Chains A and B, each alone.
Chain A
């Protein structure tokens, strides 16, 4: 009754508010007409009366709409659970602007009376009783647990008890949180979802991937997907039903391979750091005394260490792309300067293999929005490919200019063997190696896959032009900084963070 009284009083206030506005408007219009515009009182009163009439019609509609909102929710709830109302959805109480408490209470009551609010009950005589339902749980080849409104376990099948490393007797009546230690991969935990849902909804469903469970007495961990169904005021105290879908082996294997990549990368990087460091010392100290042949050897050693470093980065970045872990920080950069710096870094690797690296950068390029670390990988891979597939003595040219749509286009052009037309469409696919190059040129098939992922995450595109026997040109586009600067409105530090699949957030980062 309290809720009904509250709703009536809410509604009265609401109606009074609008009627008061209408009256004030009427008087206001009359005064405006009669005194400011100097119309005759009769005409002014007529116009004011008409305005008040129109406003009243509008207000009546508003008030009726407000008054019928809870009624509609109740109608929806009744039809939703009735066996004939198959197309009616459960009411969404969150959309109510008036009578929320009243509707929530009545709708809850309706679901209670219907036999538990468990979605759509069958007709009365076909409904199984609680005993039968519990027996049915035992037949399910799936761990299932039911919790009451306080989060205590009210039903659990043997499979579920075994799964969480307990006996059913140890679980019944105990708090689910205290019986199990769950770790969720994302931000929302089961507990948070339940708290949120209980305050807002009558029924709701949710699911979580990659939930981890620590078994009691350090017996190991389980990893699974979890689904939950919530129904308010369930008369049998099965407010929350949980089902576990075990993926321990699969997730463990994935975790192991990710951990393995991380470990391998670290173990490769440390000796590489040392090698590159000592080679540099030798170059510095012995440079002037070395014969041209030894100097050439030194360069080859240095370039090979760089190539290996680049490959290690490729392995790591491909793993990141595959796990959607590659995140970019876009900064404003002068492309000619950055491109020159990157090419300078790559030059030795080109030179020791008897080729030249040349630049052709158009003047007055606008600044670009770029992640410096990732774009280095892009150019490094394209130049590495150009070196691999071209002949000694030829030049590799890096062109940069503004394209037709205003994007900045960069093309790495070689004069090598070119690519057969049949291979072109697969070039950016992971692990793809053309039939011909497989046997003759070493490579992992990761480079172009990574190039495409990084460029796409920048909002650009990749393409290739090639003629067999004449050479290939691999190009990619970058957006001018000005065109993405609007994304920076909420950024405090002038950077944008992106992941491989779209915009994420503003974030400051300075790597390298």
Chain B
């Protein structure tokens, strides 16, 4: 077989308006994710700190929660534990995706993965690729 050019995929399609909560303290990143997700048809709510993020997650229903690990107030890890603890939060239907640029040791990462539905290194993907990732998740 002769070497061939790399096939290009179709552009991502807009899904029905799923609700996304984005807990992200870095305003630039929050702005970028918000823009890309809205453009793809998602209904986005942003929280710039952990305390707001937890309150929103506990009082509203979201299909997806994007959770940064290093946020002021409560850390992402603490939020994750509370959200997955049925004595503190009624059973959550949301999928929780960890978004981080932190370097984790094995033990920390294992705990995170046991509670979350996905784990993303933010620097490795662009906002558009985040959308593609979320669409595959559904």
Q: Bound state CA distance, A359 and B36, in angstroms?
A: 31
> Which residue in A270, A272, A280, A507 is a CB contact (below 8 Å) of B127?
A280
**A309-B124, A511-B119, A512-B124 as given contacts; A340 in contact with B1, CB under 8 Å:** no
By a CB distance below 8 angstroms, the chain B residues around A358 are 3-6
A318-365 interface (Cβ within 8 A of B): 325, 327, 340, 343-344, 347, 356-363
Closest-CB distance, B110 to chain A (whole angstroms): 7
In the complex, per-residue mask of B1-17: 1 if CB is within 8 Å of any chain A CB, else 0: 11111111100000000
Q: Bound state CA distance, A265 and B7, in angstroms?
A: 33
By a CB distance below 8 angstroms, the chain B residues around A313 are 124
Q: Bound state CA distance, A278 and B28, in angstroms?
A: 9
In the complex, per-residue mask of A395-427: 1 if CB is within 8 Å of any chain B CB, else 0: 101000000000000000000000000000000
Q: For the A-B complex with A268-B123, A312-B123, A347-B6 known, give 12 more contacts whose Cβ atoms are closer than 8 Å.
A: A262-B102, A265-B101, A273-B26, A273-B123, A274-B26, A277-B29, A278-B28, A280-B127, A309-B124, A316-B103, A361-B1, A509-B113
Interface positions of B (Cβ within 8 A of A) = 1-9, 26, 28-29, 32-33, 35-36, 101-103, 105-106, 110, 113, 117-128, 133
Nearest B residue (CB) for A397: B3
> Which residue in B3, B117, B133 is a CB contact (below 8 Å) of A359?
B3
Main secondary structure of the interface of A (DSSP, over half): helix
**A277-B29, A277-B32 as given contacts; A357 in contact with B124, CB under 8 Å:** no
A273-292 interface (Cβ within 8 A of B): 273-274, 276-278, 280-281, 284
Nearest B residue (CB) for A316: B103
Are the C-beta atoms of B35 and A281 separated by less than 8 Å? yes
Instruction: Tell me if A167 is interfacial: C-beta within 8 Å of chain B.
Output: no
Are the C-beta atoms of B32 and A281 separated by less than 8 Å? yes
Closest-CB distance, B126 to chain A (whole angstroms): 5
Q: Bound state CA distance, A283 and B121, in angstroms?
A: 22
Are the C-beta atoms of A360 and B4 separated by less than 8 Å? yes
Are the C-beta atoms of A510 and B118 separated by less than 8 Å? yes
> Which residue in B2, B4, B101, B102 is a CB contact (below 8 Å) of A273?
B101
> Which residue in B6, B26, B33, B125 is a CB contact (below 8 Å) of A344?
B6
Pairs across A and B, CB under 8 Å, 28 listed:
A265-B101, A265-B103, A266-B103, A269-B123, A270-B122, A273-B101, A276-B123, A277-B29, A277-B36, A277-B127, A280-B127, A281-B32, A281-B127, A284-B128, A309-B124, A325-B105, A325-B106, A358-B5, A359-B3, A360-B2, A360-B4, A362-B1, A397-B3, A507-B110, A509-B113, A510-B113, A510-B117, A511-B119
Nearest A residue (CB) for B35: A281
Instruction: Tell me if A508 is interfacial: C-beta within 8 Å of chain B.
Output: yes
Are the C-beta atoms of A395 and B106 separated by less than 8 Å? no
Best-buried of B26, B119, B123, B126 by chain A (most CB within 10 Å): B123
Closest-CB distance, B39 to chain A (whole angstroms): 8
In the complex, per-residue mask of A295-310: 1 if CB is within 8 Å of any chain B CB, else 0: 0000000000000010
> Which residue in A261, A270, A343, A344 is a CB contact (below 8 Å) of B101?
A270
Q: Bound state CA distance, A316 and B110, in angstroms?
A: 18
Are the C-beta atoms of B101 and A266 separated by less than 8 Å? yes
Closest-CB distance, B8 to chain A (whole angstroms): 7
By a CB distance below 8 angstroms, the chain B residues around A262 are 102-103
By a CB distance below 8 angstroms, the chain B residues around A512 are 119-121, 124-125, 133
Are the C-beta atoms of B4 and A359 separated by less than 8 Å? yes
By a CB distance below 8 angstroms, the chain B residues around A312 are 123
A183-241 interface (Cβ within 8 A of B): none
Q: Bound state CA distance, A309 and B121, in angstroms?
A: 11
By a CB distance below 8 angstroms, the chain A residues around B1 are 360-363
**A266-B102, A270-B101, A509-B113 as given contacts; A359 in contact with B123, CB under 8 Å:** no
Q: Bound state CA distance, A168 and B88, in angstroms?
A: 49
Closest-CB distance, B20 to chain A (whole angstroms): 16
By a CB distance below 8 angstroms, the chain B residues around A266 are 101-103
Closest-CB distance, A415 to chain B (whole angstroms): 12
Are the C-beta atoms of B121 and A278 separated by less than 8 Å? no
Are the C-beta atoms of B32 and A269 separated by less than 8 Å? no
Q: Bound state CA distance, A357 and B125, in angstroms?
A: 21
By a CB distance below 8 angstroms, the chain A residues around B106 are 325, 327
Q: Bound state CA distance, A325 and B6, in angstroms?
A: 34
Nearest B residue (CB) for A329: B113
By a CB distance below 8 angstroms, the chain B residues around A273 are 26, 29, 101, 122-123
Q: Bound state CA distance, A343 and B124, in angstroms?
A: 15
By a CB distance below 8 angstroms, the chain B residues around A270 are 26, 29, 101, 122-123
Q: Bound state CA distance, A398 and B123, in angstroms?
A: 26
Q: Bound state CA distance, A98 and B129, in angstroms?
A: 66
**A281-B35, A316-B103, A344-B9 as given contacts; A360 in contact with B123, CB under 8 Å:** no
**A273-B123, A362-B1 as given contacts; A340 in contact with B26, CB under 8 Å:** no
By a CB distance below 8 angstroms, the chain A residues around B127 are 277, 280-281
By a CB distance below 8 angstroms, the chain A residues around B35 are 281
By a CB distance below 8 angstroms, the chain A residues around B5 are 356, 358-359
Q: Bound state CA distance, A347 and B119, in angstroms?
A: 25
Nearest A residue (CB) for B130: A277
Q: Bound state CA distance, A395 and B128, in angstroms?
A: 28
Q: Bound state CA distance, A347 and B26, in angstroms?
A: 29
Are the C-beta atoms of B29 and A274 separated by less than 8 Å? yes
Closest-CB distance, A301 to chain B (whole angstroms): 13
Q: Bound state CA distance, A269 and B121, in angstroms?
A: 9
Q: Bound state CA distance, A227 and B1, in angstroms?
A: 63
Nearest A residue (CB) for B101: A269
Are the C-beta atoms of B6 and A343 separated by less than 8 Å? yes
Best-buried of B3, B5, B106, B133 by chain A (most CB within 10 Å): B3
Are the C-beta atoms of A340 and B126 separated by less than 8 Å? no
